[in-house]
Amino acid sequence: MKRMSEAKQKYEDIPIPEELSKRVMLEVEKAQVRYGEKRKKHRMVFVKRGMMAAAVAVALFTAGVNTSEVFARELQNVPVLGTMARIFTFRSYESETEDFKISVDVPGIEMISEELSGLEDSVNEEIHMFCQQYADAAIERAEDYRQAFLDTGGTEEEWEAHHIAIKVWYEVKSQTDRYLSLAVMGSENWSSAYSETKFYNFDQEAGKWITLEDILGEDYARIAEQSVRQQIKQRECEEGMEYWTDEWEGIGEDTRFYMNSVGNPVIVFEQYEIAPGSAGEPEFEIVIP
């Protein structure tokens, strides 16, 4: 993992604004440590709340964002996907203060079949909790960054010029008669190190959320890894970019993916997981014979 660690370190060593002193960098690093500790606590809380109703999660999300909120009055429905499920904007708001701007679109999933209503509730709860936790953590990071900036000599006017923005949104990756793939994302414009994407994949024919094993079979890890390695070799020849195949731990249950419009799974790697940061989040389509 040496090259990946070195690449991350080079990225983190890039100075943020020029007017910040070394002390600001230290303060920001402290904030990152605090965030990591709190994120672990958030994950523990999420597990404990696994049986909570989706309505409770939404209430917590509403209370967690201490800003003036403008909520959408109506659900913004998109076309029904097949006969089983559809995506809608459950809640949407934007808020702007002197310190930062936040924009949040929380998706919801509605199962057309009453037999799947329990599945709908559990997934919506997880999605809403993810949006809540990301927004809360992002606001806290922005506040820590602002305090560090001011404590080291920055002015309010200089801070306002940073235009800090936090965004939580979603994207429907595929809308076919069989598959529904949803990506829920969070990002902050002041640091690309803080971003997160979760994928939700639903098989409407089977009436369940699916894994790579459901799509590729018991030998899914070998099949997907072999395909990824072949594509990497081709990309290295065509693009001249080096991928870190010797440090890659392979495909597993937690490997992120979504279903594309032709019904193939697309593996999505984290930034720095398998290539330098300039590659972003590399994607590899696994073609099903």
Residue ranges and CATH numbers for the domains of the chain are 2-209 (3.30.565.40), 211-289 (3.90.640.20)
- Percent of the residues in the chain that have a pLDDT greater than 70, as a whole number: 68
Top mean pLDDT of 84-93, 135-144, 209-218 is at 209-218
Query: Residue 142 in contact with residue 164, Cβ under 8 Å?
Result: yes
Q: Which residue do the tokens 């099903």 mark?
A: 288
Helices 22-48 and 117-151 cross at an angle (nearest 10°) of 160
Whole-number Å distance between alpha carbons of 256 and 253: 9
C-alpha 78/C-alpha 87 separation (Å) is 6
Angle made by CA atoms 189, 265, 248, in degrees to the nearest 5: 70
pLDDT digits (tens, 9 = 90+) for 108-120: 988 776 666 677 7
* Banded pLDDT at 159 (limits 50, 70, 90): confident
Report residue 76: phi and psi, to 5°. Answer: -100, 90
279: Cβ contacts below 8 Å, ≥ 6 apart? 241, 243, 271
Predicted confidence (pLDDT) at residue 4 exceeds the cutoff of 70? no
Report DSSP state, residue 270: P
pTM metric for this prediction: 0.71
Q: How far is 256 from 197, CA to CA, in rounded Å?
A: 9
